[in-house]
Amino acid sequence: MKPSRVARGFTLVELLVVVAIIGILVSLLMPAVQSARESGRQTQCKNNLYQLGRAAQSHVSNLNHFPSSGWGYLWTGDPDMGFGASQPGGWIYNLLPYMELQNIHDMGKKLPDAEKRKALGEQKSIPLAGLICPTRRRAVAYPAVEISLNAAQPDKLAKTDYAANGGSNRILGNETTDTSCPQKYPNCNFPNHGADWFTKTFTGITGPRTEVQAAHIRDSMSATYFAGEKYLNPDSYATGNDGADNNSMYQGNDWDVNRWANRSLPPMQDTPGFDPMSSRFGSAHFGGFQVVMCDGSVHFINYQISPLVHEHLGNRLDGVTHGSNEWE
């Protein structure tokens, strides 16, 4: 009678070696997985800007000017106030009809004042996936801080990770200093910009009560920013406490939805603890941020771009054109 074979299992040492090998393989694989995920998120972000560029082109084709940035941070979009200088809402609000979002744009239309204010308050809390970069945060409503004088205030607001080009000269705040404006809205008084303001002071594509036409861009349309990703302190992604990210994306001109390109505000990657209430462009991406030019083309701008070139790309009036080899 032959002796039976004894089944031999793994020893503890062999098992530990196998676990260690698996751990090494996983640690080697994870960076590649993370890189692939970020590549997908960055591609989605690029597509968001592409869609904004297409909407801007449609706006220009229909109205002969780029979207206005409204009256300032104290005002949100009003469906009964048309487009251009008369519209209190900002550039994102003005693009809604050209993004197949007419239903959101028209919330509160022709309603009595109290009902309209309620409807506009509800509108301010509606997030849009196409206005958020997935590298940074989710497309949900975030805590509300600022108020709008022509709308109710919800508990949470829809934010955006994209900002329009306000030019090389920073123009912040509320457009009208008419203290009686909230009582007599929409019949408010505004400062007279004058020709010099539009041809010298305001150098961007969209600002307070502006109607910039393609003919007003002295530089190449393909080398002038329309909109891009905005810098944000990561500590404030979800809090609503950053003064440059504390209001709704439908609001008028302010650093929540507009940014400026000049040599003293170079773009940079989101950095914890640095530069709250920023006026600069930037992103959560490594290496650079993305922009859509006035011709609708989307580009990745290296953080190492010359500050002077960055300023030129944000200034529609300086007559200086740069090739993509100077910023990519």
- Write out pLDDT tens, residues 198-231: 888 999 999 999 999 999 999 889 999 999 999 9
| List of residues 6+ apart from 288 with CB closer than 8 A | 267, 300, 301, 302, 303, 305
Model confidence at 29: pLDDT above 60: yes
| Mean pLDDT, range 24-33, rounded to an integer | 68
The residue that leads in pLDDT, 29 or 327, is: 327
14 in any annotated domain: no
9 in any annotated domain: no
State both tokens at 319.
């007559």
C-alpha to C-alpha distance for 43 and 37, rounded to whole angstroms: 10
C-alpha to C-alpha distance for 62 and 50, rounded to whole angstroms: 19
Which residues are bridge partners to 141 per DSSP?
158
State both tokens at 226.
């329309």
Range of the domain at 171: 23-326
C-alpha to C-alpha distance for 224 and 294, rounded to whole angstroms: 6
Model confidence at 96: pLDDT above 90: yes
| Mean pLDDT, range 61-72, rounded to an integer | 96
| Averaged pLDDT of the chain | 90
* Nearest in space to 289 (alpha carbons), one of 163, 130, 140, 129: 163
134 in any annotated domain: yes
111 in any annotated domain: yes
Model confidence at 138: pLDDT above 80: yes
C-alpha to C-alpha distance for 179 and 174, rounded to whole angstroms: 11
Model confidence at 36: pLDDT above 80: no
The residue that leads in pLDDT, 175 or 228, is: 228
Tokens 């920013």, residue located: 225
Q: Which conformational region is residue 151 in: left (phi greater than 0), alpha (psi within -120 to 50 degrees), or beta? A: beta
H-state helical runs in 224-269: none
Report the pLDDT value the prediction gives residue 224, as an integer from 0 to 100.
95
140 in any annotated domain: yes
196 in any annotated domain: yes
Report the pLDDT value the prediction gives residue 4, as an integer from 0 to 100.
55
Q: In this structure, how many other beta carbons lie within 10 angstroms of the beta carbon of residue 255?
A: 26
Number of folded domains that form the chain = 1
Mean pLDDT lowest among 24-38, 60-74, 134-148, 208-222: 24-38
6 in any annotated domain: no
Q: In this structure, how many other beta carbons lie within 10 angstroms of the beta carbon of residue 52?
A: 26
Model confidence at 6: pLDDT above 70: no
Tokens 């709308």, residue located: 151
C-alpha to C-alpha distance for 102 and 264, rounded to whole angstroms: 38
17 in any annotated domain: no
Residue 313: strand, helix, or coil: helix
C-alpha to C-alpha distance for 70 and 87, rounded to whole angstroms: 6
| Mean pLDDT, range 74-97, rounded to an integer | 96
| Mean pLDDT, range 287-310, rounded to an integer | 96
